[in-house]
Amino acid sequence: MSNKSDLLAIGHTAFDYIIQINEFPQPNTSTAINKMRTLFGGAAANVAVVASNLGLKSSLISAVGSDFIRSEYEDKLKNLNIDTEDMIVIEDEKTPTAFVLTDSNNDQISYFYWGAASQFKNSEPPQKAIDSVNAVHLATGDPGFNRRSGEVAHKLGKLISFDPGQDLHMYSKNELEDVLKICNILFGNHHEIKRIQETLKMTIDDLINFGPDIVVTTHGKDGSSICTDEEIKIDAIIRDTVDPTGAGDSYRAGFLNAYVKGEDLETCGKFASSVASFIVEAEGCQTNVPDENMVRDRMEKMWK
């Protein structure tokens, strides 16, 4: 791998409605909303924003609506020097919108309006953008577009990480296998990794033999595990949690930031855990994003 540290994130850019409630309502009932804010999100954009803040030159490809153009969100990405030149703009659609409900136990339910992102399936893979970076992160998004983009990245010899996230249910068994065969790193929370194993009837070792060299599983407050030919367990850095939304995306950005810079896997995990610990301290995915010095300082205090 060259010394360039460029990362292209492919997938959703979204407006997020972050909603706090005491408990989820049963069908045909309602519940009071304690707090609601409109923030910036989308898994691919979260990764690009956090990676850029950490000093990684980042690019982003998402399908967005005309409401994104000249918005505060577009201005923010440009101010972070995130390359959005190849964004897919659908004039007569809305930018994807997420409604994320978090209860008093920090459990979450999300509702997602695809909007412009429904046009991913009709779009060509961004070959020029892929060719200009070292690493491609396939985040939540259309399975077909991710598969086609991954195939281009694979042919060009790029590092490929894959995180289907909450869109995992949209992948057919064949689509999932196609992406896993060509990715280098598979990310998922413990629910998602378990579902992938059940769908493909594979153990973690089977997954690694099948495709990715590295399987990274996040377990929330119970930390994370990094599996290759061995398993490395990483503790979470426990902080007062205001909102867990975006912690997983920030973990991925932190891990990739350290990995493309040549850090060993344990350091990548610790760096990622430290990054995620900042995100949960404030509402929203991009509200409390640290820089590299802040992350390394917290790492040193945690792992003296």
Q: Which residues contact 233 (CB under 8 A, 6 or more apart)?
A: 223, 224, 225
Of the residues 249, 264, 291, 297, which is catalytic?
249
Asked if residue 138 lies in contact with residue 163, where contact means CB atoms within 8 angstroms, the answer is yes
Per the listing, tokens 């954009």 go with: 45
In whole angstroms, what is the distance from residue 262 CA to residue 180 CA? Answer: 23
Q: Of 120, 175, 99, 156, whose CA–CA distance to 10 is shortest?
A: 120
CA 75 remoteness from chain centre: 21
In whole angstroms, what is the distance from residue 205 CA to residue 220 CA? Answer: 22
b/e 171-203 (16+ beta carbons within 10 angstroms → b): beeeebbbbbebbbbbbbbeebbebbbeebebe
Is 298 in a helix, a strand, or coil? helix
Active-site residue flag, 249: yes
Beta strands in 91-196 (DSSP E): 97-102, 108-113, 135-138, 159-162, 185-189
Asked if residue 170 lies in contact with residue 201, where contact means CB atoms within 8 angstroms, the answer is no
Query: What values do phi and psi take at 91, rounded to 5?
Result: -60, -40
CA dihedral 75, 81, 86, 87 (to 10 degrees): -30
The catalytic residues are 249
